[in-house]
Amino acid sequence: MRLLEKDKTIESEPDFVEHISEISGEDVRQCYQCGKCLAGCPMVEEMDLTPSQVMRAVQAGLKDLVLDSHTIWCCAGCETCAARCPKGIDLCHVMKALTSEAFAEGRTQSAPDIAAFHRSFLDTVSVLGRNYELGMMGLLKLRTRNLLQDVALGMKLFARGKLNLIPEYIKGNAEVRRMIRQVLDQPRPDRTGVSPVTTTHEDAGETPAPPGHGAGEAR
Amino acid sequence: MTLAYFPGCSAASTGKELAESTEALMEALDFALVEIPDWNCCGATSAGVLSPRLNVELNARNLRQAAQLGADMMLVPCAACYNRLKTTQLELKEKPALAKELEVPAAALQMRIVNLPELLVEHLDEIKARVKVDLSHLRPGAYYGCLLLRPPKAVQFDDAEQPTSMERILEVIGLDPAQWNMRTECCGASLSSTRPRAVEKRVSKIVDSAREGEANCLVAACPLCVLNLESRQTGADCLPSFYLSELVGAAIGLEPTKLGTQRHLLSSTLVGEKQH
């Protein structure tokens, strides 16, 4: 959990709650801070803000605090909070609206490896129309420079005939590629001081992940 | 009965035994599966995280493809694909203008989308009539995970907190399923690649809970759940995981190799040997 610094002024954007409510399709203003979402959240130990703090911060328009939080990327999308929210808010939709905003603004520095995972997944689907594990994991390893993780697991899967060397692709892959490239290739402002042109800096691990988290860990 | 069939990307890779066992079981139960022509990836977690709109677009294409078959029902064995297709279908039903923009025909919005436990629990008598192999050395803990059940508003399958479908199916094939606590808890899903330690913690809590309920194996219906349960369990004495389709298939006498059971990372022993 992150504590705010005393005497530090945080900018508030009054329109933020409306914007996020619109993208997510959930009325964030309805949250009355009962905390049921954080009580059942399986990933809360990984988070800096709790799910209910994220909701409150969105209501207060604290855009920078929320979009730069680790929490939005650590949501596993399990929908436990959505099933239990007494106001019927699907917090996973809100978290996804927030990550998509953070991604569109090029601010993935709080969890560069998780953003790299999602990009690598979609890059693979954009070429083939389907996911292809070997291709995706290869891209992810290049982006995170974490070459050793899960190599043994990959070999076990391969030995059991579960990793194909030749990927499947679909006839309609041009249509799928157009949908995905529109998202991945949207212009994003540079926030890390590294040229956006030739590198995938915003998710390539230029900023280290919080200590104890997976980016640098080898299995 | 003819079903439109959405195998999902994992059917060709990490979830190969889910696809193999589902296809063999459906044939044995006299369902005809017709694969949806040229289906695409549902986007899993990644599409929605980077763009909620992309998630809808990808699955709107899948719904359009499925409508070409003219089937009343679509079977989606992968929990993630099932969830993405079903939530997109609901969103398009609620937003007719969006459905029109994405050219999704009414037939695709009326098609009933089911997961495998959902289909099997409606055919208990047909299963019971075919049971011929004793699997009573297994005491499975039915693990539902997340995406078969939640969000309940969109999925509308069983009870989101206290589901019973898988237990009812296991009882019909002569098993005594374990009673345990963490049946609907999340395994950590796609964070397995980027936060493996966190997923190990989740998996170990789930496995410990199943052991407390005296389970000697886990049975699930989601390829990512099974991959995580198998690959993120730590320690020497691991609890094996199977797919529901493998257990039902084995009980009605299908060969374990036809069900893909040899592909598991932890245990490939399903029939005739005592589990610990």
Domain shared by B257 and B152, yes or no: yes
Q: How far apart are CA B185 and CA A190, in angstroms?
A: 38
| pTM (predicted TM-score) | 0.91
A149 has pLDDT over 90: no
Distance of CA B35 to the CA centre of its chain: 17
Q: What pLDDT does residue B247 have? A: 97
Nearest residue on chain B to A111, alpha-carbon basis = B194
Domain shared by A145 and A203, yes or no: yes
The tally of domains found in chain B comes to 2
Close Cβ partners of B59 (under 8 Å, ≥ 6 residues apart): B42, B43, B84, B85, B88, B89
B32 touches chain A (CB under 8 A): no
* Extended strands (E) in chain B: 2-5, 32-35, 73-75, 112-114, 140-142, 217-220, 241-243
Close Cβ partners of B1 (under 8 Å, ≥ 6 residues apart): B30, B31, B32, B73
**Which of B54, B85, B117 corresponds to the end of one domain?**
B117
Q: What pLDDT does residue A195 have? A: 37
**Which of A49, A81, A104 corresponds to the end of one domain?**
A104
B225 touches chain A (CB under 8 A): no
Domain shared by B96 and B155, yes or no: no
**Which of A71, A104, A137 corresponds to the end of one domain?**
A104
Integer-rounded Cα radius of gyration of chain B: 18
Binned at pLDDT 50, 70 and 90, residue A199 comes out as very low
Domain shared by A64 and A132, yes or no: no
Domain shared by A85 and A119, yes or no: no
Task: Residue B231: give its domain's CATH number.
Answer: 3.40.50
Q: What pLDDT does residue A184 have? A: 96
Q: What pLDDT does residue B8 have? A: 97
Q: Which domain holds residue A75?
A: 16-104
B194 touches chain A (CB under 8 A): yes
Q: Which domain holds residue B70?
A: 2-117
Q: What is the pLDDT of residues B180-235, one digit of tens each?
A: 999 999 999 999 999 999 999 999 999 999 999 999 999 999 999 999 999 999 98
A150 has pLDDT over 80: yes
A215 has pLDDT over 80: no
Task: Residue B36: give its domain's CATH number.
Answer: 1.20.1050.140
Close Cβ partners of A49 (under 8 Å, ≥ 6 residues apart): A1, A2, A57, A65, A66, A69, A70, A71
Binned at pLDDT 50, 70 and 90, residue A11 comes out as confident
**Which of B94, B117, B140 corresponds to the end of one domain?**
B117
∠ CA A150-B212-B14, nearest 5°, is 30
Nearest residue on chain A to B230, alpha-carbon basis = A153
- Between chain A and chain B, the number of residue pairs with CB atoms below 8 A apart is 181
Average per-residue pLDDT in chain A? 86
- How many C-alpha atoms does B271 have within 13 Å on its Cβ side? 18
Q: What is the pLDDT of residues B48-70, one digit of tens each?
A: 999 999 999 999 999 999 999 99
A158 has pLDDT over 80: yes
Residue A37 belongs to some domain of the structure: yes
Domain shared by A49 and A98, yes or no: yes
Domain shared by B50 and B146, yes or no: no
Q: What pLDDT does residue A6 have? A: 75
Q: What is the pLDDT of residues A86-108, one digit of tens each?
A: 999 999 999 999 999 999 999 99
ipTM of predicted complex:
0.94
